[in-house]
Amino acid sequence: MTDLGTHVLLDLDGCPRELLQDSAALRAGLREAALLGGATIVAEAFHTFDPPAVSGVLLIAESHLSVHTWPDLGKATLDIYTCGSAFDARAAADRLALALRAKRQRRVEVKRGFGAGVADAKAP
């Protein structure tokens, strides 16, 4: 089995609109979660849409964290992907759900890599 990393998919619901349209707060939350998990931040990019919504990515030496928001619906989706075992993706996900004051959350954790417990798709 080749385990290349852990990918946490985090869906949040019931988040305050003002948080979901505030790119500075989202950037700060992703940075805090990354550092809490033990990551090394390399770069970042965030974009605010009109009507207000935000997409952003934090590139870390261990891989990435990303966020996409729907303020009018109170929803956000986040990806936390890490290669290796030094970064604590679960702690980062916990911090992000708390920072965005989610009333509900759904998490899926996927081990990445061939033979890592994920159904393999056949190549065309």
**pTM of the predicted model over 0.85:** yes
Flag whether 14 is in a domain: yes
Flag whether 120 is in a domain: no
Q: For position 105, what pLDDT does the model report?
A: 96
Q: For position 86, what pLDDT does the model report?
A: 85
Q: Given its phi and psi angles, is residue 117 left (phi above 0), alpha (psi -120 to 50 degrees) or beta?
A: left
Question: Angle at the Cα of 114 (from 113 to 118), degrees rounded to 5?
Answer: 80
CATH code of the domain in which 29 resides? 3.60.90.10
Q: For position 4, what pLDDT does the model report?
A: 85
Element (H, E) at 45: strand 41-49
Mean pLDDT by 10 residues, the chain (124 residues): 85 98 96 94 96 96 96 98 87 95 96 64 42
Structurally, how many domains does the chain consist of?
A: 1
Q: For position 115, what pLDDT does the model report?
A: 66
Flag whether 89 is in a domain: yes
Q: Which amino acids are annotated catalytic? A: 63, 68, 83
Which domain range does residue 38 map to? 5-112
Flag whether 117 is in a domain: no
* Nearest CA-CA partner of 60 in 85, 82, 45: 82
The C-alpha atoms of residue 70 and residue 42 are separated, in whole angstroms, by: 26
Flag whether 71 is in a domain: yes
